[in-house]
Amino acid sequence: MVNKDIAGLEKRLGYVFKNKELIVEALTHRSFYHENPDKADAYNERLEFLGDSVLGFVIVEHLFLYKGKFTESVMAKTKSYLVKESVLSEIAKALSLGKYLRLGKGEEATGGRTKRSLLADTIEAVLGAVYIDGGYTKAKELILRLFKEKIDTIFGSGEFHDFKTELQERTQLLFSTIPLYKIIKQEGEEHKKIFTAEVYIEGEKFGTGWGKSKKEAETLAAKEALNKLQQ
């Protein structure tokens, strides 16, 4: 790869590599390595394996230290969402990572630059390369920057966060009972309904939520109930 290509990706990442060979390795697919043994000393699967572990640890650490004090099951579900292939490939596409890949002719011909699995693997390899080049702190900074929008979405809504499971675990622990949900109102036209849900613990109302589905309304009611319990 020419230096200007590396510099372009570094600008998108917000990180400049001290060892440029690491980022080149992270962008090298095994197909390129096998077809061009004179142009590649390694391919990215080792860095991908490392990056997967670094990413998982950073996400779990961030969830553990978050003020909401999420339960183990909620942290597990949230982590699984954040590190799944579709999310990783979205982040890779936002970085235009596909255009920087070193691919063999076969992968190039079959649209390798836009394959979700390949892009997801490559972003993990890039994270592994940053970890080796700059250490844990730099890797963590990059991961939290790249995943900020996704993390904010999870913390700001119940769409991907299992607040109902967390509330049930809390109520079983604190009161030896489970929460009761009631849909108290449905408003709007058939295809634009808004549901209102309330959640009760031992007969006392702990939260209210509104949503476009019963599930969303109950989830947001659970979120409010969790906030009340924490207070």
* Segments making up each domain of the chain, as ranges: 3-156, 163-230
**Could you read off the pLDDT of 169-208 as tens digits, one per residue?**
889 989 999 999 999 999 988 778 899 999 999 999 999 9
Q: Which entry of 25, 52, 107, 216 is annotated as an active-site residue?
A: 52
Q: Which entry of 48, 124, 198, 224 is annotated as an active-site residue?
A: 124
Question: Among this protein's residues, is 52 annotated catalytic?
Answer: yes
Top CATH class, 163-230 = alpha beta
Q: Which fold, 3-156?
A: Ribonuclease iii, N-terminal Endonuclease Domain; Chain A (1.10.1520)
Question: Among this protein's residues, is 124 annotated catalytic?
Answer: yes
Enter the pTM of the model: 0.70
- Of 166, 183, 142, 159, the C-alpha closest to 66 is 166
- Mean pLDDT, rounded, of the chain: 90
**Could you read off the pLDDT of 140-177 as tens digits, one per residue?**
999 999 999 888 877 766 555 678 888 998 899 899 99
Question: 196 forms bridges with which residues in the sheet?
Answer: 185, 210
139/90 Cα distance (integer angstroms): 19
